[in-house]
Amino acid sequence: MKKEHRVILTVLLLAIASIAFLILKRPLRFDHLTDDTTSDTTVSDVTNTLHPDGREAKLLSAFFGLDNALPNALNQFIHREMGGNDGMPVVFSHELDVDTLQAGDFKVTTESGKLGRMVCVTLAPADDLGEWRTVLLAGEFGNLGNQPVKVEIVGNLLSKNGEVNFRGLSVPVIPLEDGPSMVMAKVIPEVEWEVEKEPTGLPLGGGSGCPPETKQVVRVTWEGGVTKPSGAEIDEVERQLYKVVVLNEDGSTSAVTPFAIADKRDGDNNHRLCLDVEGAPQSVSFPAGHVTDPRRDLNPETFVEVISPEK
């Protein structure tokens, strides 16, 4: 992230924090989603890694998104020492039990074998309904010359339903210079469409909902947060670039464009693709070079299969 972008974002976040305090009569914070405990204190005898939905528990991605560039304004929202550190979103196959989420659950290893230093972990800003699967790690995890290469779960970290333990799982780290890809797509239940919900206008938490004409919704999760290359929120241009392949009743397939995109303007790594057609979604694709991570690295061409609603 360029210095001027960091300055603008910091000023914006501080201004919003002040406005939120005036409106809510309390500081806007995400303490309930954040932890800085450096050891695992969760006691659990759960060892199962097969979720009741039939899918195996996995770490889907770990994305080295920022090197010493998390905005200092995050100290006001999330953790007092978060600003100026590295940022690494880690995406899980299933939602997490926030009460078992601790900084000490994670181990980051660099190319040289050095272990990373964890400051805190948080589910913010991906905190809308159904999104508690992306954990943002903040700390010192390496640099361009000695990049992190592996993230491991070394503590008891349970799924939201308490039936799966992610302990012992690991995932390679996507390098700093790479742009973001989609890592998951899932048909979501109607309660998570949040029809006609207005965004809070805050860059952390509280994205927009789908229109009332919506017939089904696919949530896509990126490896990290994405915007236009300018840093602005996506709009109609990016909506028309999303393609969803649906399986029709007669066995044929069609490539459709979402008629709307929700879960915008909240700074996270999720988009809700609002569809006005029937048919079972099979896959989602997005072309290269149109969105970027906070460091302004452009996305590659990306494709992901859709998880059915029963899973």
For 39-69, write each residue's pLDDT tens digit: 999 999 999 999 999 999 999 999 999 999 9
Query: How much is the mean pLDDT over the chain?
Result: 90
Pick the CATH number of 28-174 from 3.40.309.10, 2.60.40.1220, 3.40.50.300, 3.30.1330.60: 2.60.40.1220
Name, in order, each residue with C-beta under 8 angstroms of 174's C-beta and a sequence gap of 6 or more: 61, 62, 63, 64, 223
Statement: residue 201 has pLDDT above 90: no
The two tokens of residue 155 are: 């503590």
Tell me which of 113-127, 170-184, 204-218, 244-258 is least confident.
204-218
Residue 29: pLDDT band with limits 50, 70, 90: low
AA identity, residue 213? E
Residue 170 CB neighbours (<10 A)? 15
Say what the pLDDT of residue 31 is.
Answer: 74
pTM of the predicted structure, to 2 decimals: 0.90
Residues of the chain with CATH 2.60.40.1220: 28-174
Looking at residue 198, what is its pLDDT? Answer: 83
pLDDT of residue 203: 57
What is the SS3 assignment for 201-249? CCCCCCCCCCCCCCCEEEEEEECCCCECCCCCCCCHHHHCCCEEEEECC
Is the pLDDT reported for residue 121 higher than 80? yes
Owner of token pair 């996506």:
234
Helix or strand or coil: residue 108? strand
3-state secondary structure of 10: helix
- Residue 28 has what pLDDT? 42
